[in-house]
Structure 1
Amino acid sequence: MSQATREQVRARRATPRRGAVIAILLITAALTVIVLLGGIPGLIGTGIAVVLPWLGFALVPLVVAALLIRPRTAWITAVPLVAWTMALWGFLPVPWQGDPSAGDHGLLIATQNVEAGSGTGAASARTLADGGAGILAFTELDADSGSAIADELADSYPHAYRVGTVGVWSRYPILDEEALDLGLGWKRALRVEVDAPGGAVSVYVVHAASLRPGAQSARDGMLSALGERIRDDKSARVIALGDFNAVSTDPALSPIAGALGEVRFGGIGPSFTWPASFPVVRIDHVFQRGYPSASGRTASAGGSDHLAVVAALGG
């Protein structure tokens, strides 16, 4: 075989590899840009935040392909991987974290969107109360579910406050209570001060406005107003929990996440909360400040389309 022929053969073999390398570089650049755009407030940031956890499934084959095709330049694929990890750092589970337990001088709390019309509010309340929570917060209450929960918890949770579609039931005395509309025009959130173990704690329960394409200003406005209220709250201990209709990395949650830390979950899964039958996003959260330790998990309760969130706050 002549030298020219050998060079032609090598060129034909190299062409597909060069094409694959170029494709990997383009995909790497695209994924990096997508992750970075997730910090933009509004529709773009919200949309990317929803799919961001799932982008991890695209990063794994990308890294493997790069290692197989061009090992020397495979490090480039680490760029979107690092960006993805940093964007999701506060959301990623902590594998070594155990199951939430109140422990000594701790506080166990639980929250769930009970789904209006599901007719299973009492079942949700019973299940979560049996788990030992000291404070229970429910959202998307209608007249029937609110009454059913009140009847179910009347003896074991004598302290309660309900406003519109949200309510809180406590084993511990409620010292102060306030209804909040957060700019929505009607009450869909509340604040109570609870005389909990270890000292008084300010508890915010919120059911954020629904998120619909092209109409998210009501939700964003509520979350911004809640963040402002929390920043102005001088309490040593503060908890905000409920259905925020926003995933952990949504820029709309920044006003709250900037004042409080989201309770991290244990295990190796992402602990999504909706829909309960096949969870793909986490829109139900617990945020807190003032507790040195915090751990959370999801729980099935009643027949709602949301899983409940249970959190232990200690210290």
Structure 2
Amino acid sequence: MTDSVRGRAPAQVDTAETGPDGAGRQDTGSGTRREGVRRAIGVGSWPGVWRRGLVLAVLALLLGLFMLLHAMIPNRVGNLGSLVETFLPWSGVFVPVLLAGGLWRRSASAVAALLVPVMVWLHLFGGLLGDRSRPGGEFTVVSHNVGADNPDPVGTARALAASGAEVLALEELTQQARGTFERELAKAYPHHTVLGTVGLWSRLPLSGTRPVDIRMDVGPLAETKPAEIKMGYNRALRTTVATGQGPLAVYVAHLGSARVNPRAGFWTAHRDRGARALGEAIAAEQNERVVLLGDLNGTVDDRAFAGITSQLRSVQDAAGDGFGFSWPARFPVVRIDQILVRGVEPKSSWVLPATGSDHLPVAAAISW
């Protein structure tokens, strides 16, 4: 009796676990899968994963509201609103940081809350992620802050000439470098004009060149400066390019610098004053076709440029590839070198390779 029982027991075990038909193995696998499903459901319904990481969830929601309501941040204290808008695309870097924290805490609430800033960021900047350029473009323009401390103006001039652009707008020209650019660009660009520290080189004839008063010199100091010194401080001009499709009004501008100061915050007084004056000049422009080229020392998202962006269209936003950051050249984080247009169609916009300047050149192809 004992022997028969001992003989049957292994047979029963073999049938359940290692039988030749495999039925036992399937039953065991099914049980494992069912147990896994039960565990997953248990984890998902466990209140702890929703209660953990509530601080991270709140931070995620605040980040989304911060991006969504950025226009309501006042400028009264240290131009905080403009500072936020200048670097607003970089607010997205906090999303992976919060995500890592949520995963580390195993917090379902924190991960779910991140949907808010992700959706807001995509709403604001998702359209800039892809290539928006289109074929065509009969007229190419380039703008470049060549840098007052540029150690290689010859190389910079040759690189710009190799771009093949019809017009080149240069900012931050020094008296020492001006002659170098004139010599190096003379063959490809027989027409040029320079006023103060800004200039335009063109393959086509220019006419009607005049300075644009962007009010860099105001207050008592302006009244004491001799005329020749005032001209040296000119940072904006307007000229007309004679194209085969008719006259094109071209503005070249280098607005005042923006500085982050611990006491004053985001200091932009000269820049903002120049932006308003430039907006007024463009509003008075009679030509339907207008191109603005220059170093505006700010992004088109900055509310300080509303007087300009309400009249002109950013080629980077309309036909760029990515964000098109242009400064600083070694690791660009913002696009402060702008090309804006009216009365023409942007076809493509891109950033040229680095030169000896601390800015990258920006280019655009436009169509009539």
Of the structure 1 ranges 15-24 and 229-238, higher mean CA displacement relative to structure 2 is found in: 15-24
Q: Structure 2 length as normaliser, TM-score? A: 0.73
1:48 maps to which of 84, 87, 92: 84
Give SS of 1:160's match: strand
Residue of structure 2 equivalent to 1:32:
65
User: Shift in Å at residue 146 of structure 1?
Assistant: 1.3
Written as runs of structure 1 = structure 2, the 5 A alignment for 1:28-177 is 28-38=61-71, 40=73, 42=75, 43-60=79-96, 62=98, 65=102, 69-70=107-108, 74=112, 77-88=114-125, 92-95=128-131, 97=133, 102=137, 106-177=138-209
Q: Which residue of 2 aligns with 1:234?
A: 286
Distance 1:45 1:314, change over 3 A: same
Structure (1 or 2) with the larger CA radius of gyration: 2
Q: Which moved more, 1:49-58 or 1:159-168?
A: 49-58
For 1:194, the equivalent position in structure 2 comes to 241
2:259 is the alignment partner of 1:207: no
> Alignment partner of 1:46: what SS?
helix
Counterpart code for 1:257 = T
Name the % identity: 34
Deviations 1:90-133 (A, max 9, x none): 7x2442526x864xxx1101111111021323322211211210
Q: Deviations over 1:11-56 (max 9, x none)?
A: xx63563142453133312442255235656411222123211112
- Which stretches in structure 1 are left out of the alignment for 5+ residues? 1-9
CA distance in 1 between partners of 2:180 and 2:120 (Å):
46
The question of whether the paired residues in 2 share the 8 Å contact of 1:176 and 1:192 is answered with: yes
Change in Cα spacing, 1:79 to 1:151, as seen in structure 2 (3 Å) is same
Describe the shift of the 1:184–1:96 C-alpha distance in structure 2 as closer, same or farther (beyond 3 A).
closer
Q: Which amino acid aligns with 2:311?
A: A
**Letter of the 2:69 counterpart:** L
Q: State the TM-score, normalized to the length of structure 1.
A: 0.84
Alpha-carbon deviation of 1:139?
A: 0.4
Quick one: distance in 1 between partners of 2:273 and 2:99? 40
CA distance in 1, matches of 2:314, 2:189: 26
Equivalent residue number for residue 4 of structure 1: none
Q: 1:69 to 1:198 in 2, by over 3 A?
A: farther
Measured in 1, the distance between the counterparts of 2:348 and 2:251 equals 18
Match of 1:261 among 290, 293, 313: 313
Matches within 5 A, 1:216-295: 216-264=268-316, 266-267=320-321, 269-295=322-348
Query: For 2:349, which of 280, 296, 307 is the aligned residue?
Result: 296
Matched, 1:18 2:70: no
Q: In 2, distance between residues paired with 1:45 and 1:123?
A: 39
For residues 39 and 116 of structure 1, the distance between their equivalents in structure 2, rounded to whole angstroms, comes to 37
Distance 1:53 1:252 in 2: 17
Corresponding residue SS for 1:168: strand
Q: For 1:41 and 1:83, locate their aligned partners in 2 and report how far apart those are by CA, in whole Å.
A: 20
The structure-2 alpha-carbon separation of the partners of 1:250 and 1:33, relative to structure 1 and needing over 3 Å to count, comes to same
Mean CA deviation greater in 131-140 or 46-55: 46-55
Contact 1:179 1:191 in 2 (8 A): yes
What secondary structure does 2:288 align onto? coil
Distance of 2:49 and 2:115 partners within structure 1: 23
Does the C-alpha gap of structure 1 residues 287 and 56 become closer, same or farther in structure 2, counting only changes over 3 Å? same
Larger relative contact order (C-alpha < 8 A, sep ≥ 6)? 1
- Return 29-38 or 285-294, whichever deviates more: 29-38
* Whole-angstrom CA distance in 2 between matches of 1:60 and 1:257: 32
Relative to 1, partners in 2 of residues 1:301 and 1:149: Cα closer, same or farther, differing over 3 Å? Answer: farther
CA distance in 1, matches of 2:203, 2:247: 13
Distance in 1 separating the partners of 2:324 and 2:72: 22
**Structure 2: where are the runs of 5+ without partners?**
1-42, 218-232
Paired residues in the alignment total: 296
